[in-house]
């Protein structure tokens, strides 16, 4: 059990690190953020900050020496960085999950081997392989880069095989995976936390609505089909977490289809679809992630009050803040980012126990 006053290192300086930092502070910990970016909205709320490259070994060694445990908020931290740090300090979750989560192909094979069902897929290492993949998977389909894809980036849709050239160009001719287009009723996520002793807790699964490949809203209660498929999806995510001896919050995104849950992807970290837990659950994903990496017992993951709505404030959507502040039931989270860009997550708003627009409590 990490004593209060200890220092937790966080790799990555975005809003997830910011909210983890706030949760760590609540539990009496200091946080040291390590990130290469010029702007770190995590470092703005934490005690220490190293701005350095992922491969700067002297800086990494100094960071490790300053931390009692290290975690990450960004799944594209180079695996070599985590391996290097692991030689100096405990890194939770460890590097094994990163190797899988950074490679869409490895992730799908790993999950399928554990009994999960991803969308039909085929590897597309080069342009020629795309034609063969289209024959196997069929159209419509989605071409996704194997690496560095998130929030709909590195993806191109193919309505028919005639779109192959355009899709290959659109993803920058990188090694990719072709996925069959899944006809789903709804999208949902499983958010779990696993402790050093192997204990697992789940938050209730929200239904997630994406716009342009980016999460727009997460809400509870979800439709019945999600409630019906939540247990099967949870069982898969628990198997994955146990297989990796995972410590911390792990998220799986699923499609609820007529044939049961289809695994889309996982994130080895706190997740946007879990932001509602700050006000909507007894203990949030951020608090329990910190508790997990610090070896503390978990707080309850129970939902406090329904309904719950979390709405992302993306790009110009951050301009809604004054109107949201006028809704007394709305919890506004502004990430403090200075640059407003299309598709950039700049904040979110949560209603817990109320619907947007309900009369004030």
304 binds ligand AMP per the rule CB under 6 A: no
Contact of 33 with 16, CB cutoff 8 Å: no
The residue number whose beta carbon is nearest to ligand AMP equals 182
Residue 265 near ligand AMP by CB under 6 A? yes
With CB under 6 A as the contact rule, the residue among 36, 125, 138, 152 that binds ligand AMP is 152
C-alpha 36/C-alpha 26 separation (Å) is: 26
Among 114, 170, 182, 235, binds ligand AMP (CB under 6 A): 182
Q: Is 287 in the site for ligand AMP (CB under 6 A)?
A: no
State the minimum distance, in angstroms, from the CB of residue 288 to ligand AMP.
23
Q: Tell me: cis bond preceding 324? Omega within 30 of 0 counts.
A: no
Q: Which residues contact 353 (CB under 8 A, 6 or more apart)?
A: 280, 304, 305, 306, 307, 308, 329, 361
Measuring CA to CA, how many Å separate 60 from each of 15, 45, 123, 136, 162? 22, 21, 35, 45, 48
Q: Maximum distance among all alpha carbons in the chain?
A: 60
Of 127, 210, 304, 341, the residue at the interface with ligand AMP (CB under 6 A) is 210
CB contact at 8 A, 181 and 280: no
Stretch that binds ligand AMP, among 142-150, 228-236, 322-330, 335-343 (CB under 6 A): 142-150
Q: Is 253 in the site for ligand AMP (CB under 6 A)?
A: yes
Tell me the per-residue interface mask from 15 to 54 with ligand AMP, x by CB under 6 A, - otherwise: ----------------------------------------
Q: Does 134 bind ligand AMP (CB under 6 A)?
A: no
Among residues 50, 205, 264, 350, the one that binds ligand AMP under rule CB under 6 A: 264
Size of the site for ligand AMP (CB under 6 A): 14
Tokens 């792990």: give the residue.
250
Shortest separation between residue 268's beta carbon and ligand AMP, angstroms: 14
181 near ligand AMP, judged by CB under 6 A: yes
DSSP secondary structure letters along 310-332: EEEEEGGGGGGHHHHHTSTTEEE
Q: Half-sphere exposure (CA, 13 Å, Cβ side) for 115?
A: 10
Query: Judged by CB under 6 A, does residue 163 bind ligand AMP?
Result: no
Report the distance separating Cα 246 and Cα 249, nearest Å: 8
Which lies closer to ligand AMP via its Cβ, residue 54 or residue 181? 181
How many CB atoms within 10 Å of residue 248? 27
**Which parts of this chain interact with ligand AMP (CB under 6 A)?**
119, 142, 144, 149, 152, 179, 181-182, 187, 210, 213, 253, 264-265
């Amino acid at each position: 059990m990490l004593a209060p006053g200890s220092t937790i290192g966080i790799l990555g300086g975005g809003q997830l690190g910011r909210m983890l930092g706030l949760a760590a502070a609540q539990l009496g910990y200091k946080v040291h953020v390590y990130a290469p970016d010029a702007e770190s909205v995590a470092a703005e709320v934490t005690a220490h900050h190293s701005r350095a490259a992922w491969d700067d070994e002297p800086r990494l060694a100094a960071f490790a020496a300053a931390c009692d445990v290290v975690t990450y908020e960004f799944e594209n931290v180079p695996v070599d960085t985590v391996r290097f740090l692991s030689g100096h300090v405990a890194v939770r979750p460890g590097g094994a999950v990163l190797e899988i989560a950074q490679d869409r192909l490895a992730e799908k094979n790993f999950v399928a081997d554990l009994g999960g069902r991803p969308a039909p897929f085929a590897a597309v290492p080069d342009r020629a392989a795309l034609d063969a993949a289209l024959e196997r998977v069929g159209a419509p389909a989605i071409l996704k880069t194997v690496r560095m894809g998130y929030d709909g980036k590195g993806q191109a849709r193919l309505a028919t095989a005639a779109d192959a050239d355009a899709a290959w160009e659109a993803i920058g001719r990188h090694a990719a995976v072709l996925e069959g287009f899944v006809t789903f009723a709804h999208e949902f996520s499983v958010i779990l936390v696993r402790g050093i002793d192997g204990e697992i807790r789940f938050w209730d699964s929200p239904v997630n609505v994406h716009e342009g490949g980016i999460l727009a809203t997460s809400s509870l209660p979800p439709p019945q089909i999600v409630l019906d498929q939540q247990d099967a999806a949870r069982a898969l995510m628990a198997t994955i977490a146990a297989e990796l001896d995972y410590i911390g919050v792990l998220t799986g995104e699923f499609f609820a289809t007529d044939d049961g849950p289809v695994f889309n992807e996982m994130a080895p970290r706190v997740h946007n679809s879990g932001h509602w837990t700050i006000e909507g659950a007894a203990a949030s994903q951020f608090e329990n992630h910190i508790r997990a990496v610090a070896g503390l017992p978990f707080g309850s993951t129970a939902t406090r009050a329904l309904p719950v709505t979390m709405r992302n404030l993306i790009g110009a959507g951050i301009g809604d803040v004054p109107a949201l502040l006028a809704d007394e039931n709305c919890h506004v989270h502004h990430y403090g980012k200075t640059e407003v860009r299309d598709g950039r997550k700049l904040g979110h708003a949560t209603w817990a126990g109320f619907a947007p627009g309900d009369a004030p409590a």
